[in-house]
Amino acid sequence: MRKRVAEILMTIAKILPFVVMLALVALYLPNKDAVSVDSILRYTPDNLWLAALAVLAAYAVKSLSVFFPLLVLYAAAGLLFPLPAALLVNLSGLLVCVTIPYGIGRFAGKDLVDSLQKKYKKIARINEIKRGSEFFFAFFLRIIEFLPGDVVSMVLGASGMTYWKFAVGSLLGLLPVMVATTVAGSSLSDPTSPVFIV
């Protein structure tokens, strides 16, 4: 009896993240126009520490929503915090954003990869290409935006990729766009400034 209950709980634990993801996608799609830098700024606390926690929470939600645009979070942090703090908050947020789906993939394992391979034919090629450096492979997939980032994180987690190679490769691949958008966000109030133009 206990074994059966444990199996049911394990199945629920594997399915629950996908139910949450579907719910977030269902909520996001009809309200995607409401997801903007202004809406994030409107709901962020004035206290900078609480604001940082709110932005990190938004990154956690984004990691399960697939469609939520990262650029909005980058720019919002650029407006909310001084530039060095904005870059640190965004880097921390990206770590949260790639880690959650990686963990889901690692937990769900091979079943997840098999189901995603049926949906996305490109995923079947990931395991073929991944034979070389895991670090470079994670970096490369982020640079070329081969698939939605959250899906990539889940597949790489499910494939058993070493976490630190995955995390460092992913962050370095996402870094150029994050830095550029954060800097642009920090100077958004003055679009004629050299920083914004560059």
How far is 19 from 11, CA to CA, in rounded Å?
12
How far is 72 from 69, CA to CA, in rounded Å?
6
* pLDDT > 90 in the chain, percent: 20
Question: In this predicted structure, what is the pLDDT of residue 163?
Answer: 92
Question: Which pTM does this prediction carry?
Answer: 0.76
Of 100, 98, 103, give the one whose Cα is nearest residue 160.
Answer: 103
List, for residues 137-189, the tens digit of each pLDDT value: 888 888 887 677 888 888 888 888 889 999 999 999 999 999 998 988 776 66
Q: Which two tokens stand for residue 100?
A: 């959650």
How long, in residues, is the chain?
A: 198
Torsion sign over Cα 175, 176, 177, 181: positive
List, for residues 52-91, the tens digit of each pLDDT value: 998 898 898 888 776 777 888 898 898 889 999 999 999 9
Please report which confidence band the pLDDT of residue 198 belongs to, taking 50, 70 and 90 as the band edges: low
Question: Based on the number of CB atoms within 10 Å of its own CB, is 31 exposed (0-12), middle (13-18) or buried (19 or more)?
Answer: exposed
List, for residues 33-54, the tens digit of each pLDDT value: 555 666 677 767 778 888 899 8
DSSP-based three-state secondary structure for 59 = helix
Among 11-15, 112-116, 144-148, the minimum mean pLDDT is found in 11-15
Question: In this predicted structure, what is the pLDDT of residue 190?
Answer: 61
